[in-house]
Copies of this chain bind each other. A is one copy, B any other.
Amino acid sequence: MQKKAVVLLSGGIDSSTTLAVTKSLGFDTYAITFSYGQRHRAELESAGNVAKHLKVRRHLIFDLDLRKISRSALTGTSEIPKNRSMGQIGAGIPATYVPARNLVFLSIALAWAETMGARDIFIGANTIDYSGYPDCRPEFIESFERCANLATKAGVEGEQIKIHAPLIDLTKQEIIKKGLDLGVDFSLTHSCYDPGPNGRACGGCDSCLLRKKGFEEAGILDPISYAS
């Protein structure tokens, strides 16, 4: 029988590629996407399209209104930083940081995994072309894995829970190439933090800039269009 894995899927380049990697390793895939009050809700639709395209066993959209407890440019109305230089991106923790987001998301993914007997959880965290979020670093992922094994019945009873971050040391262009190799359709993906009313990517937020740079460096045409 295929082993089950839970994959955190936001509908962006990294998580979509991670889902494809998980499938390529032979796992039966269960994708979870969080509707947490993000202003870029277009990503929920993208996540659904990617999940369908990559034929996951199940795609769950989990509601969790982080606006009640956290403050971030991603969930609030304050301005999303635009057109920063690559030196600025990743140099500090930006306004788009959502407190403890990956810890909350991984914890809920773990609860789902344990319930259905999955012992493997995949997350698209990476630290090369990234925004400087603390909860994307390998030391956080490793620490969470230890904590998950102490927190759960599965872990205590000797079944090792494993947190996989297969993209952790890849550049954005390497992620894009890997995704294409594994059949990801990047026209379905969404990266922008601040899309227009039609869902069109702004082209200037950190996430758009990192995506554009990745496609340029990979020498591949980005299949989505930008407002600027």
Which residues of A line the B interface, CB within 8 A? 32, 60, 62-66, 68-71, 93, 97-104, 107-108, 110-112, 114-115, 134-135, 137, 139-140, 143-144, 146-148, 150-153, 155-157
A58 vs chain B, min Cβ distance (A): 11
A27 vs chain B, min Cβ distance (A): 18
Which B residues are CB-close (under 8 A) to A146?
A: 143, 146-147
Q: Is the CB of B153 within 8 A of A111?
A: no
Known: A99-B115, A115-B99, A140-B147. A134 touches B108 (CB 8 A): no
Which B residues are CB-close (under 8 A) to A102?
A: 151
Further pairs besides A104-B111, A134-B155, A143-B146: 7, Cβ < 8 Å: A60-B68, A63-B65, A99-B115, A99-B153, A101-B111, A140-B147, A143-B143
Residue of B nearest to A140 (CB): B150
Prevailing SS type, chain A contact patch:
helix
A162 vs chain B, min Cβ distance (A): 15
Q: Is the CB of A69 within 8 A of B112?
A: yes
A79 vs chain B, min Cβ distance (A): 18
Q: Is the CB of B148 within 8 A of A103?
A: yes
A152 vs chain B, min Cβ distance (A): 6
Q: Count chain B CB atoms within 10 A of each CB in A64, A107, A143 and give the residue with the most.
A: A107
Assembled-state Cα–Cα distance A104/B114 (Å):
13
A-B contact pairs, 12 of them (CB 8 A): A60-B68, A62-B68, A69-B115, A100-B108, A100-B111, A103-B107, A104-B111, A134-B153, A139-B150, A143-B143, A143-B146, A146-B146
Q: Count chain B CB atoms within 10 A of each CB in A98, A103, A137 and give the residue with the most.
A: A103
Q: Is the CB of A99 within 8 A of B110?
A: yes
Known: A97-B153, A151-B100. A111 touches B70 (CB 8 A): yes
Q: Is the CB of A100 within 8 A of B148?
A: yes
Which B residues are CB-close (under 8 A) to A140?
A: 147, 150-151
A190 vs chain B, min Cβ distance (A): 23
Q: Count chain B CB atoms within 10 A of each CB in A107, A115, A134, A151 and give the residue with the most.
A: A151
